[in-house]
């Protein structure tokens, strides 16, 4: 039987340590079987992924940035589950914010980078409700920020 960690390894994904909050908030809150994860910004091993969609970043690069947000979300869920990702039941909802120009309209295609990752990594448990919205600016100039709601056991 395949575990979530095995599927991640098959995808070439190693979860980073869950990032600490950058201000006066907590990285996640659990109430009952629901975990609300604070917004995770686009970053990888090289640092922050900066850019504005419709200006200096294309949709494909934005989707790749959104995938890094999803990996950050999953790292926070793992921490909330005391290191046991098998406690994750499903992704319930994502809210994606895309740093974009006022005339850019492909926010859903950008956030697909996160949605597609969750389905690849989790199968049906990765399917979720979602919003994808534009933002005039995001913290530190990052390209994407995504928050999520997850069900755990």
| pTM: predicted TM-score of the whole model, two decimal places | 0.96
- pLDDT surpassing 90 at residue 107: yes
| pLDDT score at 1 | 55
Cα(153)–Cα(140) distance, integer angstroms: 35
Q: Which of 54, 73, 63, 49 is nearest to 109 (CA)?
A: 63
Per-residue pLDDT tens for 65-93?
999 999 999 999 999 999 999 999 999 99
Per-residue pLDDT tens for 123-142?
999 999 999 999 999 999 99
């Amino acid at each position: 039987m395949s575990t979530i960690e095995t599927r991640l390894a098959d995808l070439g994904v190693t979860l980073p340590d869950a990032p600490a909050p950058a201000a006066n908030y907590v990285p996640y809150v659990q109430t009952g079987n629901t975990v609300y994860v604070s917004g995770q910004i686009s970053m990888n091993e090289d640092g922050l992924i900066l850019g504005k969609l419709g200006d200096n970043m294309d949709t494909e690069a934005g989707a790749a940035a959104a995938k890094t947000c999803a990996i950050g979300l999953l790292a926070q869920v793992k921490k909330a589950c005391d290191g046991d990702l098998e406690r994750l039941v499903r992704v319930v909802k994502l809210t994606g914010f895309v740093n974009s120009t006022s005339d850019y309209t492909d926010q859903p295609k950008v956030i697909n980078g996160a949605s597609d990752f969750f389905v690849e990594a989790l199968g049906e448990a990765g399917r979720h409700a979602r919003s994808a919205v534009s933002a005039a600016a995001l913290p530190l100039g990052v390209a994407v920020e995504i928050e999520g709601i997850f069900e755990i056991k």
